Amino acid sequence: MRLVAGDSDEFLFSCAPCYSELASMLRNHGNRWGFVHVGVYNKGIVQASYDTWEAFEKVDLEIVIDSDLTVSFCVLCGVSGGAICSIISGIWALVIHKSYATELAIYAFLIGYFVCRIGMAWPQACVSAYYVAYADNPLHPRFDSTVPDRIRELRRRLQV
């Protein structure tokens, strides 16, 4: 978004700076990593999100957050689970009740998607909690050099 925000010769991109600023504000004041501080420190979501993002900036964890594929993986698992449920129920419906096959396949996809997404919420929450715990205290003895090594590797890739 920021790449096209400076270009004002197209009407399509004329609002890009405004949208970029809005996205930045939403990231700072309402993000999924803030839920860790809501649960641990009993803060409100806005303050927790702001504090969490400040902690990420302080330990330079933004580059790791930007390259995180946890959400993409969880959505892919949800879509795959929904597709499998849809195929199985669609085949069954074609054999038993041909008139209900489409509706049943759609309902099965939605149910399968949401059940898989609920199942994938646990790993997603674990990754979020790991990042927040690292940002809160990066020198804790339980953390090895994985995150700092990843930050150095991502920086090296960006410089090339």
The DSSP string of 76-106 is HHHHHHHHHHHHHHHHHHHHH-GGGHHHHHH
Domain for residue 79, yes or no?
A: yes
pLDDT category, 153, cuts 50, 70, 90? very high
Domain for residue 78, yes or no?
A: yes
**Residue 13's pLDDT is what?**
66
Distance CA 136, CA 51 (A): 10
**Residue 130's pLDDT is what?**
92
Q: Are 80 and 60 in contact (CB under 8 A)?
A: no
Determine the structural domain holding residue 107 and report its residue range.
69-136
Domain for residue 74, yes or no?
A: yes
Q: How many domains does the chain have?
A: 1
Q: Which residues have C-beta within 8 Å of that of residue 84, sequence separation ≥ 6?
A: 112
**Residue 11's pLDDT is what?**
62
Q: Are 16 and 24 in contact (CB under 8 A)?
A: no
pLDDT at 15 > cutoff 80? no
Domain for residue 43, yes or no?
A: no
In the block, residue with structure tokens 């609002």: 15
**Residue 3's pLDDT is what?**
55
Query: Could you tell me which residue, 3 or 52, shows the higher pLDDT?
Result: 52
Domain for residue 44, yes or no?
A: no
